[in-house]
Structure 1
Amino acid sequence: MGIEEQLGEIVIAPRVLEKIIAIATAKVEGVHSFSNKSVSDTLSKLSLGRGVYLKNVNEELTADIYLYLEYGVKVPKVAVAIQKAVKDAVRNMADVELTAINIHVAGIVPDKTPKPELKDLFDEDFLND
């Protein structure tokens, strides 16, 4: 009998995984900001992680990340760095394996465009839930 059976079940909300993914992504050099995948997402709370979408099909968890990169970066290099950072963060913090981490570059942001602060990634007041 393992510890899990003795103490009970641990459930991690998708919202928690979205935030782990968003923070890991934002910390990668060359990432500017996130983008929603559609205009309707911008007007709703469909994606609480702002640009991070999780899909669970047949026990396979996939992350789709929509973002803007800084001008002058090597897009494939930054995309691979994001995939590695996200995979490691989710595995280390939540003990969850992602089947795929898909990077969708929505655009390139011109030089000297102010980068949003990490604390501004989530404009909801999570303490009032």
Structure 2
Amino acid sequence: MAEDTNIILESKEPALGKIEVAPQVLEIIVGIAASQTDGVARMRGSLANSVNELFGRKEHGKGVKLTFDGDELAVDVYVYLNYGVAVPKVALAIQDSVKQQLLFMTDLDLREVNVHVEGVIPEKTAQQVDPDNLFNQPDEGDSEQS
């Protein structure tokens, strides 16, 4: 979670006033950029995030931590990846996507984007249990006679 202070965007051109962006906006931008990267299964969330998603509220800022020191912004992204993807390749893609989106949408330069892989989510397999034969016992007609 980011600090409660707004981030002031500096402009090279004369402006009518100052532009402030809430840290939650940056968290949402980073969360969407990271979660839409190929190979990312989901972002790390808390119990509150899970409860909100059960009620249909999508939490886009979960799994993102911002650190703002003076003029430098550092981002930590916590993700779960799909099984079978190249972890370094996906992590680099997350870093590039986050940096591009923040630069494009806010004109902020990032000092660093740290990607923390929390785990790997395996593919779901087909059900192996036959509902008609739960205990895997042979039928009476199938038994061999000696």
TM-score (norm 2): 0.66
In the alignment, the residues of structure 1 paired with residue 47 and residue 121 of structure 2 have an alpha-carbon distance, to the nearest angstrom, of 22
Amino acid at match of 1:18: E
Count of residue pairs brought into register by the alignment: 105
Cα-to-partner distance string for 1:33-74 (whole Å, 9 max, x where unaligned): 1114xxxxx2568xx811100001243210000010000000
Name the structure, 1 or 2, with higher relative contact order (CA <8 Å, separation 6+): 1
Match of 1:52 among 42, 61, 64: 64
Aligned CA-pair RMSD? 2.2
In the alignment, the residues of structure 2 paired with residue 92 and residue 15 of structure 1 have an alpha-carbon distance, to the nearest angstrom, of 17
Where 1:96 maps in the other structure, the secondary structure is coil
Where 1:103 maps in the other structure, the secondary structure is strand
In the alignment, the residues of structure 2 paired with residue 27 and residue 18 of structure 1 have an alpha-carbon distance, to the nearest angstrom, of 14
User: What residue is the counterpart of 1:108 in the other structure?
Assistant: 120
Per-residue deviation, 1:112: 3.2
Alignment of 1:1-129 (within 5 A): 2-4=13-15, 7-36=16-45, 42=46, 49-112=61-124
Gaps of at least 5 residues in structure 2 are 1-11, 50-59, 126-146
Structure showing the higher helix proportion among its residues = 1
In the alignment, the residues of structure 2 paired with residue 109 and residue 3 of structure 1 have an alpha-carbon distance, to the nearest angstrom, of 49
Per-residue deviation, 1:109: 0.2
In the alignment, the residues of structure 2 paired with residue 2 and residue 57 of structure 1 have an alpha-carbon distance, to the nearest angstrom, of 24
TM-score (norm 1): 0.74
